Homo-oligomer: A and B are copies of this chain.
């Protein structure tokens, strides 16, 4: 938000009343939240990760289980699990040399369902 305004600035249309402008500007002021939201949805924006989450919604499983079920390499899955971990969407538990992954909270399902509702409208 550090660009200088061009001639566009004088183009606030008449339907936009001043209170609306101020309200939106106030919302825009809190930039952090936009980046966090976008960052979260970016994680959902990949079919491999969607598949992983969808599988984990069915049962806790280890890395090689997921790789096998998705017919993808262990490395690819491991990389994606790291992304999901950093977004706090999955948690893991180590048992010997095997690492079991599972969903970390309920939000995943809820976000999915809203997404599905839109896709299937």
Measured CB to CB, the residues of A under 8 A from B are: 1-3, 5-6, 8-9, 11-13, 15-16, 20-21, 23-25, 27-28, 33-47, 49-51, 54-55, 58-62, 64-65, 67-74, 88, 98, 100, 105, 107, 110-112, 114-119, 121
Q: Kindly list chain B residues whose C-beta atoms are within 8 Å of the C-beta of A43.
A: 45
Picked from B37, B42, B118, the residue with its CB within 8 Å of the CB of A119 is: B37
Is B58 in contact with A24, judged by CB distance below 8 angstroms?
Answer: yes
- Whether A6 contacts B73 in the complex (CB less than 8 A), given A51-B34, A58-B23, comes out as yes
- How many copies of the shown chain assemble into the complex? 2
Picked from B11, B28, B65, the residue with its CB within 8 Å of the CB of A51 is: B28
Q: In the complex, given contacts A23-B58, A37-B112, A41-B42, what are 7 additional A-B residue pairs having Cβ atoms less than 8 angstroms apart?
A: A2-B71, A5-B71, A11-B68, A13-B64, A38-B46, A42-B45, A107-B121
Closest chain B residue to A25, Cβ basis: B69
Q: Kindly list chain B residues whose C-beta atoms are within 8 Å of the C-beta of A5.
A: 68, 71
- Would you list 27 pairs from A and B whose C-beta atoms are within 8 A, ordered by A residue? A3-B73, A6-B73, A8-B74, A11-B65, A12-B64, A12-B68, A13-B62, A13-B64, A13-B98, A15-B59, A15-B100, A16-B61, A20-B59, A23-B58, A24-B54, A27-B55, A28-B54, A28-B70, A34-B54, A37-B50, A37-B119, A42-B42, A42-B45, A44-B44, A105-B118, A110-B117, A111-B118
